[in-house]
């Protein structure tokens, strides 16, 4: 991209003094595996790289949503979270360019890399547990239990499963609703998309990316459950879901203040692991391994019958 390109010139303008040569060329890289069009912009001769997320260009499962509202929501969530933990610095938004959010690019290896190569995985999970704890503890507010269940129903309604199966899930959700396990005094800001690709390690420090789905009044266990579900699913695909258990336990132990809290968390985690597994089933509905998360999610929800 050269000077004269409207979008390029807007980026140079919002970056201000970070760009010394206002006439520099900009290299563009289209990134894949995202719910929206995402591009990386490198400014030649400058030490600046930007990520642009175009909410007006959906590429994922969900096609209809409020792109303008989603753009503003993620911008505000990043502004709030950056005061507490490491996140990509939000720079600017612009409705005219397909509702784009520009933020600073964070280089490094994602948690998925450490999972795949089985290197320093426990150490990285410890850093993530500490970061999530910090986010949750410093954003406490009222708890919206109804919204926690509406998220679950939203995923169920987008799953390609028969009505009989949906009815079974909804029956089990009713059991959880009427139990006291999910009742907590305070809610907090949760990321709500805590998958291995959204944790990046830059110079040894963990960064949390993509706050589009973040909620201000959630249950802290949601972030824990989604990540645990991802670990379970990954190891299941590699041959044995049981191999995920030591890592899940280590992660939850690190997050917990003491043994009492650890015991409380382990009783709630199955609910949010089920949520995480159904999300996996929704986003990976075309894979040959789609039945596992559906089956395992049901097993997790059925634990309520034994409590």
**Co-location of 61 and 123 in the same domain:** no
Q: Which pLDDT band, with edges at 50, 70 and 90, does 286 fall under?
A: low
**Co-location of 143 and 248 in the same domain:** yes
Residue 245 in domain = yes
Mean pLDDT for 83-90 is: 98
Domain edge (last residue) among 104, 137, 156: 104
Q: What percentage of the chain carries pLDDT values higher than 70?
A: 98
Give the sheet arrangement for strand 100-104, strand by strand. Answer: 26-31, 36-43, 49-58, 100-104, 90-94
Q: Which of 250, 159, 150 is nearest to 192 (CA)?
A: 150
Residue 191 in domain = yes
Q: By residue range, what is the domain housing residue 117?
A: 109-306
Residue 247 in domain = yes
pLDDT of residue 75: 98
Burial class (CB in 10 A: 0-12, 13-18, 19+), 186: middle
**Co-location of 115 and 56 in the same domain:** no
Strands 90-94 and 100-104: antiparallel
pLDDT of residue 306: 81
Q: Both ends of the chain: CA-CA distance in Å?
A: 60
SS3 state of residue 283: helix
Angstrom distance (rounded) from CA 61 to CA 121: 30
Query: Of the given ranges (41-55, 58-72, 154-168, 242-256), which has the lowest mean pLDDT?
Result: 58-72
Q: Which of 105, 68, 94 is nearest to 13 (CA)?
A: 94
- Non-local (6+) Cβ contacts of 300 within 8 A are 270, 271, 273, 274, 277
pLDDT of residue 32: 73
Q: Exposure string (b/e) for 80-106, b if CB count within 10 Å is 16 or more?
A: bbbeebbbbebbbbbeebbbbbbbeeb
Q: What percentage of the chain carries pLDDT values higher than 90?
A: 87
pLDDT of residue 285: 63
Domain edge (last residue) among 104, 138, 169: 104
Mean pLDDT for 215-221 is: 97
Mean pLDDT for 230-257 is: 95
Q: How many domains does the chain have?
A: 2
Angstrom distance (rounded) from CA 38 to CA 8: 15
Residue 1 in domain = no
**Co-location of 96 and 214 in the same domain:** no
Average pLDDT, the chain: 94
| pTM summary value | 0.94
Residue 13 in domain = yes
**Co-location of 162 and 295 in the same domain:** yes
- At 75, which CATH number? 3.30.200.20
pLDDT of residue 289: 76
Query: Of the given ranges (71-80, 106-115, 120-129, 157-166), which has the lowest mean pLDDT?
Result: 157-166
Residue 129 in domain = yes
**Co-location of 206 and 61 in the same domain:** no
């Amino acid at each position: 991209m050269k000077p004269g390109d409207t979008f390029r010139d807007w980026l140079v303008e919002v970056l201000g003094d970070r760009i010394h040569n206002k006439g520099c060329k900009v290299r563009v890289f289209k990134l894949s595996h995202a719910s929206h069009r995402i591009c990386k912009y490198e400014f030649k001769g400058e030490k600046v790289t930007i990520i642009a997320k175009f909410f007006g260009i959906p590429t994922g499962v969900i096609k209809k949503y409020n792109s303008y509202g989603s753009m503003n929501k993620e911008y505000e969530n990043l502004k709030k979270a950056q005061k507490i933990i490491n996140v990509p610095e939000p720079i600017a938004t612009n409705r005219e360019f397909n509702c784009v959010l520009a933020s600073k690019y964070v280089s490094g290896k994602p948690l998925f890399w450490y999972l795949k190569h089985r290197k320093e995985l426990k150490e990285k999970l410890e850093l993530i547990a500490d970061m999530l704890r910090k986010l949750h503890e410093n954003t406490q507010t009222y708890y919206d239990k109804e919204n926690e269940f509406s998220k679950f129903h939203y995923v169920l309604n987008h799953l390609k499963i028969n009505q009989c199966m949906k009815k079974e899930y909804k029956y089990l959700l009713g059991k959880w609703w009427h139990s006291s396990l999910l009742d907590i005094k305070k809610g907090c800001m949760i990321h709500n998309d805590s998958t291995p690709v959204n944790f990046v390690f830059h110079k040894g420090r963990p960064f949390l990316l993509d706050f589009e789905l973040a909620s201000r009044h959630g249950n802290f266990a949601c972030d824990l459950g989604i990540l645990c579900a991802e670990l379970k699913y990954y190891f299941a695909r590699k041959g044995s879901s049981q191999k995920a258990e030591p890592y899940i336990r280590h992660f939850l132990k690190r997050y917990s203040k003491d043994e009492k809290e650890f015991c409380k968390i382990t009783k709630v985690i199955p609910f949010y692991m089920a949520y995480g597994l159904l999300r996996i089933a929704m986003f990976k509905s075309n894979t040959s391994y789609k039945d596992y998360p559906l089956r395992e999610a049901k097993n997790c929800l059925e634990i309520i019958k034994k409590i």
